[in-house]
Structure 1
Amino acid sequence: MTKQASAFNNEITCRLPRSRASVPRARAMLHAVLSTWGVTQDVLESAELVLSELVTNALRVRVPSDRQVGVRIARSLADGLLRLEVSDAGSGRPKVQAPQDDETGGRGLLLVESLAHRWGVDERASGIGKTVWVELKAPDIVAEPVGREVAAVMVRPGQRVRAWGAWHAVRTVRTESCAAGGPAIVLGLDEGPALRVHAAEPLTVRDDGVPSPQESGESTPG
């Protein structure tokens, strides 16, 4: 079962180390991405189960320790589909098992198959390893919000800024000296660490009614 991904737009990709911690990291990235794509809670929960299973399976494959696991999250607005891909450098192809009632394992791909609209396995373009992909129906998936590019020094509290594959509300803005020369802008965001960039670096922002720290009762450090 092979389907080309050319119809998909607005994609997020990353590479994860071969560590157990990569499963929750993949889920966290998925949550951050889907929170901006307008999917329903049912789709979010299904996607989380599927991605967890695919990454877990990829980590079990025997490959050299320096080989990472590739993750791609993409959407097709025209078809109302969410696509999850996980790549590894291992040989062989995963197969759906039929475990006995008293067996505790072997049901992961059964779960994936039950949740998927379509799924399959492709050879990687490099010729090493494979990519397991799953498509989920997501009829409520939305287009990327429109943003504009401005220099970091122009960003203000109350806007949203595009960082790490998702939109974040800007809570605070302060200026620091930059080791490379010139000022640096430090943005305090609603989630995750602060974003520190050179004042002239372009950032994508949008205005959508996010309350400023003053309006929300938060204080802005000097």
Structure 2
Amino acid sequence: MTAQNEVTFRLTRCRRSVPRTRALAHAVLGEWGMSQDVLEVAELVLSELVTNALRVPVPSDRQVGVRIARPLEDGLLRLEVSDAGAGRPEVRAPGDEETGGRGLLLVEALAHRWGVEERAGGIGKTVWVELKAPDIVPEPVGREIAAAMVRPGYRLRARGEWRVVVSVRSEQCDAGYSAVVLGLDEGPALRVQAVEPLVVRQCEDVMSAAIQLEIAP
């Protein structure tokens, strides 16, 4: 699974959807560097929200939507679960003999804040929860440049991950176009056409002083 700032998926209305949600959330949040405590809370909150959404009386072909996002500020993790049902969920205080009805009570206790919004399409609702997650770092924003402009020291988005470029060389291909071979700090070298756009980051703003590689004519 590649790192990014949000992940969305849809669930069928069946019991397997709850453990599937937990597994997907665990994979996503683990990749984002989530602490174990916050990861466990996020899994629990999502499980409760998805369980509630699956209980909403709607046609069986209506799916449940899930979105997990890390905003660019505030150190918060946002969890959203959408369904096509009417009404708004409310926190209840069930009696001692009741076995259910405590899901939103638990969510309210664990959340930094939470709420309900109408879905953009006008059908159903989205229940959202924000959890404090100061250890989450947003996926870095990169810029797109031609492969021929990449130089050692750049951070390159390659094969779904950020890698540091440690070497650069150009070569002429039999097909008549120029290529660039980028040596990375991990994994095999990346060989691309010189004009191919690549997403890069830099430790310092050196774009104005970027070195134009010598490409064979």
| TMscore range, shorter length | 0.5 to 0.7
Instruction: Give the conservation status (yes or no) of the 8 Å contact 2:8–2:67.
Output: yes
Note if 1:58 corresponds to 2:58: no
Please point out which of 38, 41, 45 is paired with 1:46.
41
Aligned Cα RMSD in Å? 3.1
Structure 1 counterpart of 2:139: 144
| 1:1-222 equivalent positions in 2, closer than 5 A | 10-144=5-139, 161-162=159-160, 209=186
Separation in 2 of the partners of 1:53 and 1:147?
Answer: 36
Separation in 1 of the partners of 2:120 and 2:72?
Answer: 25
Instruction: Give the conservation status (yes or no) of the 8 Å contact 2:70–2:138.
Output: no
Deviations 1:33-70 (A, max 9, x none): 11121111110000000000000100000101110000
Separation in 1 of the partners of 2:117 and 2:81?
Answer: 10
Shift of the 12–106 alpha-carbon distance from structure 1 to 2, 3 Å rule, reads same
Q: Given the two structures, how large is their TM-score scaled by the length of structure 1?
A: 0.63
Separation in 2 of the partners of 1:98 and 1:141?
Answer: 33
Shift of 1:123: 0.3
Separation in 1 of the partners of 2:112 and 2:103?
Answer: 16
Q: Given the two structures, how large is their TM-score scaled by the length of structure 2?
A: 0.64
Separation in 2 of the partners of 1:107 and 1:21?
Answer: 21
SS in 1 for 2:93: coil
Structure 2 gap segments, 5+ residues each:
145-157, 162-182, 188-217
Separation in 2 of the partners of 1:87 and 1:31?
Answer: 19
Separation in 2 of the partners of 1:207 and 1:24?
Answer: 37
Separation in 2 of the partners of 1:132 and 1:147?
Answer: 31
Shift of 1:147: 8.8
SS in 1 for 2:70: strand
Separation in 2 of the partners of 1:42 and 1:23?
Answer: 20
Shift of the 66–146 alpha-carbon distance from structure 1 to 2, 3 Å rule, reads same
SS in 1 for 2:31: coil
Deviations 1:62-106 (A, max 9, x none): 101110000000012311000000000000111101011222211
Instruction: Give the conservation status (yes or no) of the 8 Å contact 2:75–2:135.
Output: yes
SS in 1 for 2:74: coil
Instruction: Give the conservation status (yes or no) of the 8 Å contact 1:16–1:69.
Output: yes
Instruction: Give the conservation status (yes or no) of the 8 Å contact 1:40–1:140.
Output: yes
Larger Rg: 2
Separation in 1 of the partners of 2:40 and 2:88?
Answer: 25
Instruction: Give the conservation status (yes or no) of the 8 Å contact 1:83–1:136.
Output: yes
